[in-house]
Amino acid sequence: MSGIVIIGTGLAGYTLAREFRKLDKDTPLTLVTADDGAFYSKPMLSNAFASGKDAEALISQTPEAMAGQLDARILAGRRVESIDTGARKVMLEDGEALGYDRLVLAVGAEPIRLSYEGDGADAVLSVNNRQDYARFREAIEGVERVAVIGPGLIGCEFANDLHGSGREVDVIGPDTAPLGRLVPEAAGRALQKGLEGAGIRFHLETVVDRIDRVDSRFRLKLDNGETVEAGAILSAVGLRPDTRLAEAAGLEVDRGIVVDRGLATSAEHVYALGDCAQVAGLVLPFVMPIMHAARALAKTLAGETTEVSYPPMPVVVKTPAHPVVVSPPGSGAAGEWTVEPVGDGVRALFGDGEALNGFVLTGAEAVKQKQALTKQVPGVL
Ligand SMILES: Cc1cc2nc3c(=O)[nH]c(=O)nc-3n(C[C@H](O)[C@H](O)[C@H](O)COP(=O)(O)OP(=O)(O)OC[C@H]3O[C@@H](n4cnc5c(N)ncnc54)[C@H](O)[C@@H]3O)c2cc1C
């Protein structure tokens, strides 16, 4: 019997395996991953520089410990090359084929990479896993000034953390304010002010034109005519669900791997969850949706067909210099933003006069209202 095969040992793959084993102790379980299979909390990647943690220190469980706990076979350092849904087989890069009864794709997302002119363009790094983190830590060794490209959620978290590690930080991006895609401008400006107050510099409404090496440093030329000097460059311009395996296997793919509320893909016996998945139209690359999806899918795989529901899931932005909580309104939600100052930040509410459909809180005083407001907003799905 082939059992269940899960591709990916990130939060999605491992959480699903844990939830499944609570319900089913017997079905053979195999997890296959291109990385080293160590369990770690990915959100720590953007708040570990200040605390001086290296990539090893982020590991909470070795793959051997996970295999024991889950009574599972873990194939680490083994990339899946293709999937044959007709023959129910997963082909590994090294030639081995794994049969499956049910297959789960938990392959995560890939950083979007922009291209730049200049001989320093190849030095731009992004951090989306422990290996990237190790590489970037090496790149900032002895470096006093770091440029962060992208003033979104992850760019701001890295900026705050790198600044906390004693470095000067410049954040660059085309938006009028940080978190441009997530929050109204006034909330983004409040975060900007908080981070600037701590010493972080912003270069907004501009993009990087070229990156040149000057001695052992880099000179970034911006399209507004400014230049920024830095010893290392971090790109945080967004993530894209990794749909490559799914697409090549003929599964339906849109912004992510298309799954219904049962986490089922368009191919029989194949499921997807986590950053790679588009669940009932939603791409939500955060921890809480993964927890809910993993619990629902574990039940389905254990024999009790279950649809996922998402309660309100506010996202906490890890910017201690000016904390932020965001509960974005659903895509078709009625209403408009009203913003009022609270302490050194703002409270922004999205509603239509009767119902509250979303909120943003910024600053230490405002974020205290998180729990009270979370009770008032509707569930996400
Ligand atoms: C810097 C950073 C900070 C974050 N902070 C927060 C936060 O504060 N709060 C929050 O809610 N969310 C946060 N997130 C998002 C959250 O971490 C992710 O949503 C979550 O970790 C994604 O888990 P995943 O298992 O779907 O993907 P991943 O962790 O990316 O795992 C993908 C797995 O698939 C494997 N894989 C991929 N392709 C193949 C292949 N072909 N063959 C074999 N294996 C393959 C990889 O090796 C890996 O094991 C953050 C993300 C980042 C990058």
Domains plus CATH for the chain? 4-110+239-301 (3.50.50.60), 113-235 (3.50.50.60), 323-374 (3.30.390.120)
Q: What is the pLDDT of residue 206?
A: 98
Tokens of 232: 């290392």
The answer to whether the CB of 283 is under 6 A from ligand 1 is: no
Q: In tens digits, what is the pLDDT along the chain, a chain of 381 residues?
A: 589 999 999 999 999 999 999 999 999 999 999 999 999 999 999 999 999 999 999 999 999 999 999 999 999 999 999 999 999 999 999 999 999 999 999 999 999 999 999 999 999 999 999 999 999 999 999 999 999 999 999 999 999 999 999 999 999 999 999 999 899 999 999 999 999 999 999 999 999 999 999 999 999 999 999 999 999 999 999 999 999 999 999 999 999 999 999 999 999 999 999 999 999 999 999 999 999 999 999 999 999 999 999 999 999 999 999 999 999 998 888 899 999 999 999 999 999 988 999 999 999 999 999 999 999 999 999
The answer to whether the CB of 34 is under 6 A from ligand 1 is: yes
Q: Quick one: DSSP state of residue 280?
A: T
Q: What is the pLDDT of residue 3?
A: 96
Q: 């309660």: which residue's tokens?
A: 311
Q: What is the pLDDT of residue 331?
A: 82
Q: How many CB atoms lie within 10 A of CB 358?
A: 23
Q: What is the pLDDT of residue 56?
A: 96
Report the nearest-CA residue for atom 27 of ligand 1.
108
The answer to whether the CB of 152 is under 6 A from ligand 1 is: no
Distance CA 30, CA 6 (A): 6
Side chain identity, residue 302: A
The answer to whether the CB of 164 is under 6 A from ligand 1 is: no
User: How far, in Å, is the centroid of ligand 1 from the Cα of 215?
Assistant: 35
User: How far, in Å, is the centroid of ligand 1 from the Cα of 126?
Assistant: 13
Beta strands 257-259 and 29-32 are unpaired
The answer to whether the CB of 35 is under 6 A from ligand 1 is: yes
Pocket test for ligand 1, best of 42, 73, 127, 271 (most atoms within 8 A of CB): 42
Instruction: Give me the residues paired with residue 221 across strands.
Output: 210, 227
Q: What is the pLDDT of residue 1?
A: 54
Atom of ligand 1 nearest to the CA of 11: 25
The closest alpha carbon to 128, from 15, 275, 257, belongs to 275
